[in-house]
């Protein structure tokens, strides 16, 4: 009875598709929720540092003066905290895995150079913000002065 069952199983397995794939010759298929590696859209990133603070394994490093965002993929535990915390939604979990390597390495991304139009738009936005702040400060000073005069 046992050998009959074994023969049946062996014959069935002979004609079945293999349960494993010849990776890396055959590329794996990823689902939309596969957790592979985190990447950053540097055009959108404002270097606010929130992702670095939220990362439980200190895998992310943001360098504001150099305008760079780095990740040590070998320390990342794919918890998605950084992706959820990013205020600009510029972090994404890509489905493909980090390739095996002999040494640990860090991926560093740089802010792209702005086009002349983008530079002009940024300067205009900064000027407008500075004007708004100055106006608000002047209004507050006027209110404080009026309050002090009425006392």
Note the residues at the interface with ligand SF4 (CB under 6 A): 38, 40, 45-51, 54-57, 59-60, 62, 69, 71, 76-82, 86, 88, 90-91
Give the nearest distance from C-beta 26 to ligand SF4 in angstroms.
27
Parallel, antiparallel, or unpaired for β 60-63 and 68-71? antiparallel
Smallest distance from the beta carbon of 70 to ligand SF4, in angstroms?
Answer: 10
How far apart CA 118 and CA 114 sit, in angstroms, is 6
For residues 122 and 138, which CB has a smaller minimum distance to ligand SF4 in the complex?
Answer: 122
Question: What are the residues whose beta carbons fall under 8 Å from the beta carbon of 90, sequence distance 6 or more?
Answer: 40, 41, 42, 43, 44, 45
CA dist 137 and 149 (Å) reads 18
Shortest distance, position 111 Cβ to ligand SF4, whole Å: 10
Q: Which is nearer to ligand SF4, 88 or 143 (CB)?
A: 88
């Amino acid at each position: 009875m046992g050998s009959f069952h074994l023969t049946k199983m062996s014959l069935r397995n002979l004609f079945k598709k293999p349960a494993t794939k010849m990776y890396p010759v055959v590329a794996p298929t990823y689902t939309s929720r596969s957790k592979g590696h985190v990447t950053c859209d540097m055009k959108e990133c404002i270097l606010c540092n929130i992702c670095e603070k939220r990362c439980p394994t200190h895998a992310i490093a943001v360098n504001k003066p150099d305008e760079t965002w780095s990740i040590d993929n070998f320390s990342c535990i794919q918890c998605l905290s950084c992706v959820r915390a990013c205020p600009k939604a510029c972090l994404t979990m890509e489905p493909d895995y980090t390739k095996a390597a002999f040494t640990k390495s860090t991926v560093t991304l740089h802010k792209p150079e702005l086009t002349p139009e983008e530079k002009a738009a940024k300067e205009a936005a900064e000027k407008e913000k500075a004007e708004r702040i100055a106006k608000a400060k002047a209004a507050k000073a006027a209110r404080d002065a009026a309050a002090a005069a009425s006392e």
